[in-house]
A and B are shown apart, each in its own frame.
Chain A
C-alpha cells in the first residue's frame, strides 16, 4: 500500500491502530473457513466518523475495504479476497443502552454477542439469537450475516431483532436507517436489506435490537432413534402437532459415536440418530408440551426418550450437542462445515441424500444441526493437505448443494455466500433476482470498493 495512503489512515485513526507488519497481515487474512487472502493493511476504527473518513479515502484512492468483526465467519466474508484494507470494528465494543421500558438495546458493532446476551439477562430480558460462535462473534458480524442459532426455530434469526442501523455507505456517507418503534413503514426497509448484506453494502457503526422477556421455565429432552430418517420424520410430526420448541437439534450416528469417544457421557453408539429438544415458556405449558413431544417421539419409533428433570440432566443433554463440532473436529485435521437448508418437511430426504453422497465419494461426513429449521450442518472430515481427497470433497459439496436446491432449499441457511459459495448463488436465485442484487450493489458502491469478491462471482480484483 502506498505510503501516502497509510499516512492518511494514520491521521484518521492514529498510528497505533494502523497495522502493516507481515505478522498482522497474515492474521487478518483468515476467518473460520479454510481459504486465506492477505490484506495490505489493517485499520482498527474507533468511531463512526473514522469509518466514514476511511471509506471516503478508499473511494478517492480506489482502495478495497473489507469490514471485519471477530473473523468467525464460515463463508469468507471478512477475508480480503481482493487485498486492500481490512477494517476491524472490534474496538467499537460499547453497550450504549439497555432500554427496559421499550425492550431495546443499542450497541456498537464490535460488542461480542454473548456480552449483550448476559447484560440483558442480568435485567431479566433475552436477546435470542445464539449462534454457536456466541462467545466470540460480534453483533456487527451477526447482522451482516443475519446469523441464526439454536433457538431460531421459535425465536427467529438476527433479522427478527434488528430494529435500527447507523453506519457508513460505501462512499463514506453517514446514515441512520430503521426506527425503534414497534412498527414503521417510512420508505424502503433498509434495515432488512443491510441485514445479511455480508459487509458489501454498508459498514455498521451502531445497532439497535429488540429484546424479549426471559421465559419463566424450560424443559429439555432427548430421543434416540434406530435410523436417521426416522428422527428427521419425527421433526415434522412434532411441529405439525402444534408444538413450537425453542430448540430442536439432530445428531447422526457418526456425530454420536465421535462425541461419545471424545466425551464418554454414555451415549448409545449404535443409535442411528438423536433428537434434542427444549421447550420454554410458562411453567404449566412447558410440562404439557414436553410430555406431548415425548409421546410423539415414542410413536415415531424412538427407542428411548428421556426428559431432563434437573439442571444437571439438562446440562448433560446439551453437552452432547455443544460437543458435536468439537468432537468431529478432532477426527481429522480439516473439518468443512456446510449449512445447506431445506423446507422442514424435506429434512428426511436431505439426510438420505447426504448419506448417499458421503458413500459415493468415500468421505466421512458427520451431520448434525438445527433440525427444527431444516438447517443441517453436514461436516466433512478431511485433510486439506490431501489433494486427491480434497478434489472429492469439492465434488461432494457441489452435490450437497444441488440436492438442497432440488428439494426447494437454499445453499446457505445462516453462514452467508461470501466467496465460498458465490458460484452457487445464481443457480438458487435465478437471473432476475441476481440482476436486482447487482444493481443495488453498483448503485450504492459505484467504485466497487466495499468487500469486493463476495456474493457475486465476477467481482474479484
Chain B
C-alpha cells in the first residue's frame, strides 16, 4: 500500500501547474489544499514525515475528484488517483466512518438492498414531505451538518430498471447494445434512461438492459472502500462480459470512466480491452457510430449551453459530441459556456460531506451560466444535474437543467409530432 503511494507521487517535480486547475484550491488558497500539496502530503505519509492526522484526512477528503489536476500535469502524475489511493490507505489504517460504511459497504454492494433502501427513502420522502422548502422535517438537515435548503432528490418508488423489459427491440436493427444505467438514472432521474432507450431504438439500435447490473462502484471507491468497489466491479464485469452486443452505452460520465479506466487503473482488475473499447457515452455513440444530426426544435428553450461533467470530458474524453448534437438542433441557438469544463461542485456525495465548498464551486458555474443568457443548460451526468438545479434553486434563478439525452429526446418527439 505504501509502495503504491510512493509510485503514484515520486514523479512530481513540484512545478505547480496543477494548482491552476484545482477548484478546491481556488476557494481555499492554502498550499496544503492544492493538488501539489496533497501529493506532497501523500508522499510524506510514505516517507514518514506526515502522520494520518485529522487535518490530513480533511485535506484528502476535500478533493472533489474532478481530475482537472491530472489533465494539467506535465509529469504524468495523477494527484486525483493519488488522493483516491490515500483514502484507501486511510480506510485500511483508520477504518471508514460508520455512516459511509453503512451506505457504501452494506447497502450499495448488495444488489437488492440498495434499490430497496432507495425506494424506502423515496417512500419516506413522500410521507414526511422533505421536498418542500419549508417542511419542518428539514430541521433534521442542520443536525446532520447539511444546509437547511439542501436539495434532496426524489428517489423513485419504482426504479427505472424495474419498469423496463430486459430487451427493447427495434425495427431495422443496425446495432445491438447494452445500456449500463447507473444509479442516477435508475433511482432518481428515470427520464434519462427513457431518453437513452428512445433515442437508440429510434435510430435502429436494439437495447439490452442487463438485469443483474449494479452500481459501477464510483461512490464506493471514492470513499476509500476499494474492497467494496472491487466486489461491484467483478459482479458487473461478469454481467457485461457475457453479452452479445456491439457496444456498452452509458449516460453518466462517472460510470463510463469507471468501467473504461478505474476498474483497472484504480482497482487493479483485469478488464479485457475488447470490453473497455466498447464503452461509449450516449452522445459519443450517436455522433461517432450513428452519425446522428437532429434538426428539430425543443419547446421553450431558445438558447442552450453545455456544461462538461468532469468525468465525461476528462475521464471519457467526450467533448465535441454533445456540442455537435446540441448545435444541430433547429430553432435554438447554442452558446459556449465560459470554463465549461470546470467542476460544478457536485461531486457525488461530496455535496453532502462538504456542502459549503460544493456551493462555493457551484456559484462560479452559476455566474458563468448567467453570462451566456442561456435558458437551458444541458449536461451529461445526473450528479451535475442535481447540483446545478440546486444551485439555481437557492439562487432563485429560473433555468432548466437537463441531460443532453433528454434534450435530444424531446426534440425528437417534437419532430415526430410535426
Spell out A's residues near B (CB within 8 Å).
19, 21-24, 26-28, 30-34, 44, 70-72, 88, 90-91, 112, 114, 133, 135-136, 323, 325-327, 329-330, 333-335, 385
Contacts and interface: CB of A to CB of B under 8 A. Distances in A.
Task: Choose among B20, B34, B44 the residue with the greatest number of A CB atoms under 10 Å from its CB.
Answer: B20
Contacts of B19: 70, 136
A90 B10 contact: no
Interface in B13-30: 13-17, 19-20, 29-30
B324 to A, nearest CB: 18
B189 to A, nearest CB: 36
B75 A326 contact: yes
A326 B16 contact: no
A336 to B, nearest CB: 9
A394 to B, nearest CB: 18
B76 A27 contact: no
Q: Is the interface of B mostly helix, strand, loop or mixed?
A: loop
Task: Choose among A22, A23, A326, A329 the residue with the greatest number of B CB atoms under 10 Å from its CB.
Answer: A23
A329 B75 contact: yes
B40 interface: yes
Contacts of B17: 133, 135-136
B166 interface: no
6 closest A-B pairs by beta carbon, nearest first, are A326-B74, A135-B20, A329-B75, A27-B32, A27-B37, A27-B31
B400 to A, nearest CB: 30
Nearest to A337: B13
Interface residues of B, number: 28
Contacts of B16: 32, 70-72, 133, 136
Contacts of A327: 74
Nearest to B43: A26
Contacts of A136: 15-17, 19-20
A385 B20 CA distance: 28
B148 interface: no
Contacts of A27: 30-32, 34, 37, 40-41
B49 A31 contact: no
A112 B76 CA distance: 24
Given A27-B37, A70-B19, A72-B15, 7 more contacts: A91-B29, A135-B17, A136-B17, A136-B20, A323-B74, A325-B15, A326-B74
Nearest to A93: B29
15 contacts: A19-B30, A22-B55, A23-B50, A23-B59, A24-B31, A26-B40, A30-B14, A32-B16, A44-B30, A90-B29, A136-B15, A326-B75, A329-B11, A329-B74, A330-B75
Contacts of B41: 23, 26-27
A28 B31 CA distance: 7
A330 B76 contact: yes
B132 interface: no
Given A23-B59, A330-B75, A112 B20 contact: yes
A264 to B, nearest CB: 15
Nearest to A335: B13
Task: Choose among A31, A88, A135 the residue with the greatest number of B CB atoms under 10 Å from its CB.
Answer: A135
A22 B50 contact: yes
B53 interface: yes
A71 B49 CA distance: 20
A72 B51 CA distance: 26
Contacts of B20: 112, 114, 135-136
Nearest to A383: B10
B36 to A, nearest CB: 8
B349 to A, nearest CB: 23
A203 B92 CA distance: 45
Nearest to B40: A27
A70 B59 CA distance: 19
Given A26-B49, A325-B74, A330 B55 contact: no
Contacts of A24: 30-32
Contacts of B34: 27
A112 B16 CA distance: 13
B203 interface: no
A34 B12 CA distance: 10
B135 to A, nearest CB: 34
A91 B27 CA distance: 11
A34 B10 CA distance: 12
A9 to B, nearest CB: 16
Nearest to A262: B76
A265 to B, nearest CB: 15
A208 to B, nearest CB: 24
Interface in B42-78: 44, 49-51, 53, 55-56, 59, 74-76
B395 to A, nearest CB: 24
Nearest to B10: A333
Contact of A32 (B13, B53, B56): B13
B40 A30 contact: yes
Contacts of B75: 326, 329-330, 335
Contact of A23 (B10, B11, B14, B32): B32
Contacts of A44: 29-30
A34 B55 CA distance: 25
B167 to A, nearest CB: 41
B342 to A, nearest CB: 13
Contact of B13 (A26, A90, A114, A334): A334
Contacts of A19: 30, 32
A27 B25 CA distance: 13
A449 B17 CA distance: 31
A22 B53 contact: yes
Given A26-B44, A27-B32, A325-B74, A330 B50 contact: no
A333 B6 CA distance: 11
Contacts of A22: 50-51, 53, 55
A52 to B, nearest CB: 21
B144 to A, nearest CB: 25
A30 B37 CA distance: 10
Contacts of A91: 29
Interface in B147-198: none
Task: Choose among B14, B30, B37, B51 the residue with the greatest number of A CB atoms under 10 Å from its CB.
Answer: B30
A436 to B, nearest CB: 34
Contacts of B55: 21-23
Nearest to A327: B74
B141 to A, nearest CB: 26
A26 B33 CA distance: 12
Contacts of B32: 19, 21, 23-24, 26-27
Interface string B229-265: 0000000000000000000000000000000000000
Contacts of A33: 14
Contacts of A31: 14
Contacts of A323: 74
Contacts of A72: 15-16
